[in-house]
């Protein structure tokens, strides 16, 4: 934990801390939090909507705020042929639902003629969203897109596939 003394407020304020708790906090109810993938998820072409392990966080949104959500990570095909591929849909979920606009990508991890195993493709989604005041759960979801081979999505801290989810709450 990193503290900073505020002469104006005559108190100590947490400005940084490790883990899944807010890493930045201010008297204006603005904060930032990052969480990281904790395990790889095996996704088949028929996998229904599934939350990626470790990529979920519940936040409290103050009135008059906007929330910026971003995520990135890797998808690796398990196909063993030169033309093998995997297809996954990656999306941001807010309170279990896909927002009306933004936060969605279809990912193709496709082997090439020269590489016949384990091609990795990265996702990168992000957007600003106005949410009602109160508690909201933000998560990264994935599903199979009905074709191709199985894929591994995200991973833990020892994997180049490890995903992250960062949420910034800004009071306007």
Separation CA 125–CA 5 (nearest Å): 36
Residue 90 clears pLDDT 50, i.e. is over it: yes
| pLDDT value at residue 128 | 94
Q: In this model, does residue 42 exceed pLDDT 50?
A: yes
pLDDT at 49: 94
Q: What are residue 75's DSSP bridge partners?
A: 121, 153
d(CA 107, CA 75) in angstroms, rounded, equals 8
Mean pLDDT of the 74-94 span:
95
Per-residue pLDDT at 117: 80
Residue 133 CA to residue 65 CA, distance in Å, equals 8
Q: How far apart are CA 136 and CA 42, in angstroms?
A: 27
Q: Which residues, in sequence order, are bridge partners of residue 146?
A: none
What's the predicted TM-score (pTM) here?
A: 0.82
């Amino acid at each position: 934990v990193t503290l900073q003394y505020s002469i104006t407020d005559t108190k100590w304020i947490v400005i940084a801390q490790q883990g899944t708790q807010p890493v930045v906090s201010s008297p204006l109810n603005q904060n930032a939090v990052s969480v990281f993938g904790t395990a790889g998820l095996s996704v088949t072409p028929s996998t229904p909507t599934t939350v990626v392990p470790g990529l979920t966080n519940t936040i409290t949104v103050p009135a008059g705020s906007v929330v910026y959500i971003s995520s990135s990570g890797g998808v690796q095909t398990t196909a063993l042929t030169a033309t093998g591929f995997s297809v996954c849909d990656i999306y941001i979920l807010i309170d279990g639902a896909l927002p009306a606009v933004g936060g969605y990508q279809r990912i193709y991890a496709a082997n090439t003629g020269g590489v016949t195993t384990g091609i990795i493709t990265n996702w990168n989604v992000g957007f600003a969203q106005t949410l009602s005041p109160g508690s909201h759960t933000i998560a990264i979801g994935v599903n199979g897109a009905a074709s191709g081979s199985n894929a591994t999505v995200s991973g833990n801290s020892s994997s180049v596939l490890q995903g992250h989810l960062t949420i910034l709450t800004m009071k306007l």
